[in-house]
Structure 1
């Protein structure tokens, strides 16, 4: 994994929901098998990547994001099971709809920012645990995680993070309404 080129570039931003409740369950696996963890991103569910480059984010954009996310209510989600896509193990949040609505509202405002750059047909909300790994590794991680599920998380905000100097850095948090 260390020899692969980074999928991130300086100036790239993302909107993510932190899931600190997941760290005790997935942290050790993410640190080994998810490049975003070693680049400074905590356990999360992606709302939108890539978002606007850092040079396009100004006070007006921050204001619009504040308004968009404040229109959504805080919610609780649960992680009950693991799931897979090719070479990837993840935890699907239940319910997933509140995450999908966050994404849809941002994309409605910025249609030039499709999820994952439009690369994937299925952009269902998920918490990545291991990615770009062969099945035996995914099997090992899956077996370990099953013993630590379910757990729940409260979603109260969305974070804007930016990639600079080979790492992701927190830039802003947007509160959901109570």
Structure 2
């Protein structure tokens, strides 16, 4: 039904673009693919060819179990010294979104079940030397805090081809 090899459910964070877009363009392949600054809710998700009205309805029902919320990004975090990210506060509503969507689609565990503890985050940089990433961290910190009202998630599809990811549907949280 939709183009691409992969799909994902994300919370786009346009409020962060000014702080992170140049760094993501250089140090995060997902930015080159066309994925905006975001917090992942569930990836990988249902293959694009299998996204039909039933899947979209089930996804909307799951997302709608979580009320809209305000999130702030006040701090940076690290996965080892390889990945620099921004930490959302509060993190729990993002976890609630992931749990709700995964409960509705149990065949699609977050990150293929690779991680035990899911830490909601906005990836800033992951392909660079530790020194480059520390410099990015200093620059990004100058733009904190970032704040926004989270009112919806995006269902996106694409591949690892440049500029291939597109938002297929915006799905609202409950009021």
Q: Is the TM value for this pair above 0.5?
A: yes
* 2:8 is aligned with 1:19: no
1 CA distance for matches of 2:69 and 2:142? 25
* 2:35 is aligned with 1:38: no
Q: TM-score, normalised by structure 1?
A: 0.91
Match of 1:57 among 34, 51, 58: 51
* 2:118 is aligned with 1:123: yes
Q: Report the Cα offset of residue 120 of structure 1.
A: 2.2
Match of 1:109 among 94, 99, 104: 104
Equivalence for 2:127? 132
Equivalence for 1:4? none
For residues 39 and 165 of structure 1, do their structure 2 counterparts lie closer, same or farther at Cα, with a shift above 3 Å needed? closer
Q: Any runs of at least 4 consecutive aligned residues in structure 1 with deviations exceeding 3 A, and if so which?
A: none
Greater CA drift, 67-76 or 34-43: 67-76
For residues 127 and 155 of structure 1, do their structure 2 counterparts lie closer, same or farther at Cα, with a shift above 3 Å needed? same
Equivalence for 2:41? 47
Q: Report the Cα offset of residue 164 of structure 1.
A: 4.4
Q: TM-score, normalised by structure 2?
A: 0.92
Contact 2:70 2:147 in 1 (8 A): yes
Match of 2:95 among 100, 114, 121: 100
Greater CA drift, 131-140 or 153-162: 131-140
Give the root-mean-square deviation of aligned CA atoms: 1.5
Structure 2 stretches lacking a partner, 5+ long: none
